[in-house]
Structure formats: C-alpha cells, structure tokens
C-alpha cells in the first residue's frame, strides 16, 4: 500500500503536460502513470488541477543568529512551505559568515533541528577560508561557493588574485554577486551629501555592467561554471546574450526586479532598498522579455527577514534586503494568469533548472525515484494581497495590493502533506539536507 496517491492531475514538465496518477512511498515518488493500483493511506483527487515539483528557492537569507536577525530556519521555512517552496539554499553572508567547516557545521546543525523545507547551504569565499574551500566543495555539504564582487572590506572581501584562485581550484558551482566596487565607491561619493538618495542612483546599472564584464573575462580564462545570482538590468542581458551557450554562465532573477521599479515604487523609499537596487521601468520590462526568450535560468526570492523598524533607519543606515520567501510563488502565479509566464517555463525556472545547476539529487522533477516534493494547485485563480503572510514573523511586505495566486491546495515535502490551501499541518517534522551529486 502506498502512503499517498494523487489521481488524475495534470503534471507540468518544462517539455509538456501529462495527466496521470502519482503514487508516493517512503518519501519518494514510486509510480507515475495511469490508474495506480494497490491503494494508499490517503488519496487526493486531482481532476482539473495541476501538479508541479516543489519549488527550489536558491537564494534566501535566514539570518538568525546574525545581524538584523528576526527570522530563523523554523519561521522562514514555515513561510516557504506554505507557498509551495519545498527546498531552500541559504546564503552565507550571515554573522558569523559561512566560510569554513566549523561555521558550515554549526549552521547545518541549526537547520537539522528547525528547517521544515529541505535545505542546503552556500559557502562564502573569504580570505581566511580559501585553504579549506576545495574540501568543503568535495564533501557535498555545500551547494555552491559565493564570491561577492562588491565587497572591499570584511571577511568576504577578495583580491583579484584570490578570486582567480577560487575559480582555478576545487569543484562545483560558483555564485557571483556582480557589482563593481570602484563604480559603487564613485557614486557613493557623488551622493553622500544627499540625506535620502534613490538607491538606483547610488548603485547604478553601470556598476552591474562593469562587474559582469570582469566576470565574463574570468570565466573565459578559467572555464569554471558561474551563476549570476542577481541579474537586474538590460545592459547585463545585452552584454551576456552573444555568449550564451559559449560561456558556462547561468543567470537568476528575484521578484523585486520583476514586480517593483523606481518609477512605480518610489513611495516605498528605503523599504525597498536591495542589492543590486530596484531598477527603472525599462529594466524591469527587459527582465520579463528575457524570461520569455529563455535568457534567464532561475527564479529565487532573495528573502531577507528585515522588519520595518530596521528599514526605517534612514538611507545610509538602512540594511539592504526585503522579505520574499512567502510571496515569490504567488506573484509568479499571477504572472502565469496574465500570460507573462507559462506554467512549463515556471517549472523549468523554479524546479528543473535549480536542481540541474546545483546538482541536487532527486529534486526538480516528478519522476519515479525522485523526492516526493509536490505542489497541487489550480491555474488562473488569484486574489489581492491584503496583508503580509504571518508565518515568517517579519510583519510586512512591499507587495500589498498586488494580485497573487491562491495558496496551493496541497504542498507535500518528502512525502508528507505539510499544507492544505494555506493551512499548515498540525505536526510538522524537520526536513532533510539536500544531497549534492559529485563529479
């Protein structure tokens, strides 16, 4: 007897759709096809509904303990699974930074106790941890190595020679936050006398473009796979486009670069301060056009659990980041309704591509042998976001008033139903660490 059968739902793959039963046993997908036999402890009727793999959010900041911390693994992942995010990959720019074996082990221990979504960690490349990076990458305990091009001081600041060493040694995907320090410094000096400048002026598109140009040159020299974690401008897209397929560079976009713009969101002021900044309307539209043309590989939330009090310190003291782990999927579902995004492309960017790029074993597809991370939903049903989702404990969102998709009707993590139409199960168990394919 199976643990769970979902009957006659329309399964979404990047390459098409299939009406079939999905049977789950021991946390894995045990059968996909017509009329699963043998019965199950629970059956769910999927007629007229769609099924997709659980969403992989490869860019979250779960910052407790750490600077500006209000979130933690429990609350952050509670908000995640409610919306259909079943796997999270945590960024390393916490305090202390995740840059060596000791800090990675400590963070994994907290995730093991608290995370309700399957979890993985990025490791940061920092001067003090370079000697141990190769061993960490080979261990399978990290999903990628982050290089912060915008840092000129602190534990994550690297010289050009150190960046070259990171690319030349070890294995695995390299994530890059690409903003040019000299350009950022120049524009910071230009605007420093202004009490409340526009963040897009202080961190202009030129900073992203010049950094991307440097990254592309490093990739040509090293041939190391690079993942650009925050694409935000048409200039970056145009610079990279002639080399897509020739250079091993993948790209990612966050919802705040798709649903917010300088012109339309100016009233929010410093609340929408993020790095790289929210851009102008033409850049926002360019990102959507790039998604339709297949020039962007993945979506990720960029979730940072900062409260309104923390975002009200004045421009020069306000930290960058906005909450988004619970709103990414609902916002993208509204884009599906209005034809900006097809369901097949949604699954490709939210599930299949992250699993492939980060080499996550048994993730991203609804196939026999894969983890039973499943989202059951109805296409085209939307509502207005009236208040922030409560689970993350942050207490606000910049997307109030936006059209969003309804809560998934069923969310399954590792074969267990964790949410039904936005109502979380009474007994939620910690999830598991993702496994990284080696070689």
Predicted confidence band of residue 347 (pLDDT cuts 50, 70, 90): very high
Q: How many CB atoms lie within 10 A of CB 345?
A: 18
- Helix-then-strand count for the chain, H and E: 13, 19
Predicted confidence band of residue 438 (pLDDT cuts 50, 70, 90): confident
What average pLDDT score do residues 237-249 get? 94
Position 395 pLDDT exceeds 70: yes
CATH of 55-357 among 3.40.50.300, 2.40.50.100, 3.20.20.140, 3.40.50.10190: 3.20.20.140
* pLDDT at residue 307, rounded to an integer: 87
Q: How many CB atoms lie within 10 A of CB 273?
A: 22
Predicted confidence band of residue 85 (pLDDT cuts 50, 70, 90): very high
In the CATH hierarchy, which fold is given to the domain comprising 2-51+367-424?
Urease, subunit C; domain 1 (2.30.40)
Strand, helix or coil at 432? coil
**Mean pLDDT of all residues belonging to the chain:** 94
pLDDT digits (tens, 9 = 90+) for 270-324: 999 999 999 999 999 999 999 999 999 999 999 998 889 889 999 999 999 999 9
More confident of the two residues 107 and 50? 50
Cβ–Cβ < 8 Å for 296, 287: yes
Domain boundaries in the chain? Answer: 2-51+367-424, 55-357
Angstrom distance (rounded) from CA 387 to CA 389: 7
Predicted confidence band of residue 10 (pLDDT cuts 50, 70, 90): very high
Cα–Cα separations (whole angstroms), residue 382 to 101, 157, 255, 335, 386: 44, 44, 17, 10, 12
Of all residues in the chain, what percent carry a pLDDT higher than 90? 85
Cβ–Cβ < 8 Å for 4, 32: no
Position 71 pLDDT exceeds 50: no
> Model pTM greater than 0.95?
yes
Please enumerate in sequence order all residues whose Cβ is within 8 A of that of 301, keeping only pairs 6 or more positions apart, or say none.
57, 59, 60, 85, 254, 255, 324, 325, 327, 328
Closest residue by Cα to residue 67 from 313, 395, 301: 313
Which of 61-65, 90-94, 238-242, 288-292 shows the lowest per-residue confidence on average (mean pLDDT)? 61-65
* pLDDT at residue 64, rounded to an integer: 58
* pLDDT at residue 439, rounded to an integer: 63
């Amino acid at each position: 007897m199976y643990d769970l059968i979902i009957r006659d739902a329309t399964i979404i793959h990047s390459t098409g759709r299939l009406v079939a039963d999905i049977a789950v046993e021991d946390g894995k997908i045990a059968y996909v096809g017509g009329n699963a036999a043998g019965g199950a402890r629970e059956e769910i009727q999927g007629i007229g509904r769609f099924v997709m793999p659980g969403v992989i959010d490869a860019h979250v900041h779960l910052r407790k303990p750490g600077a500006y911390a209000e979130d933690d693994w429990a609350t952050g992942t509670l908000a995640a699974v409610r919306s259909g995010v079943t796997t999270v990959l945590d960024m390393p720019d916490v305090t202390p930074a995740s840059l060596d074996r000791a800090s990675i082990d400590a963070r994994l221990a907290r995730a093991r106790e608290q995370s309700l979504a399957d979890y993985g960690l990025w490791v940061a490349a920092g001067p003090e941890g370079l000697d141990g990076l190769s061993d960490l990458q080979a261990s399978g305990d990290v999903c990628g190595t982050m290089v912060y091009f915008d840092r000129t001081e602190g534990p994550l600041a690297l010289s050009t020679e150190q960046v070259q060493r990171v690319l030349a040694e070890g294995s695995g995907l390299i994530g890059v936050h690409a903003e040019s320090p000299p350009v950022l410094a120049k524009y910071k000096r230009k605007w420093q006398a202004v009490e409340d400048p526009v963040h897009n002026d202080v961190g202009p598109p030129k900073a992203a473009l010049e950094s991307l140009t440097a990254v592309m040159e490093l990739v040509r020299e090293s041939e190391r796979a690079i993942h650009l974690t925050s694409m935000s401008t048409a200039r970056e897209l145009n610079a990279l486009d002639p080399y897509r397929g020739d250079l091993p560079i993948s790209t990612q976009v966050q919802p705040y670069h798709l649903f917010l713009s300088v012109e339309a969101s100016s009233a929010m002021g410093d609340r929408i301060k993020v790095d790289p900044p929210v851009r102008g309307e033409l850049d926002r539209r360019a990102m959507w056009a790039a998604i339709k043309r297949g020039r962007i590989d993945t979506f990720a939330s960029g979730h940072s659990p900062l409260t309104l009090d923390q975002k009200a310190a004045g421009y020069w003291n306000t930290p960058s980041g906005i909450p988004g782990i619970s709103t990414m999927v609902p916002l993208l579902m509204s884009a599906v309704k209005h034809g900006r995004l097809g369901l097949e492309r949604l699954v490709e960017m939210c599930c299949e591509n992250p699993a492939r790029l980060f080499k996550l074993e048994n993730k991203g597809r609804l196939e026999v042998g894969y983890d039973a991370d499943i989202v059951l939903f109805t296409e085209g049903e939307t509502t207005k976001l009236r208040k922030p989702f409560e689970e993350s404990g942050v207490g606000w969102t910049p997307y109030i008033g936006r059209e969003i998709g309804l809560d998934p009707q069923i969310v399954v993590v590792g074969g267990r139903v964790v949410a039904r139409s936005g109502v979380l199960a009474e007994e939620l168990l910690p999830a598991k660490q993702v496994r990284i394919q080696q070689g």
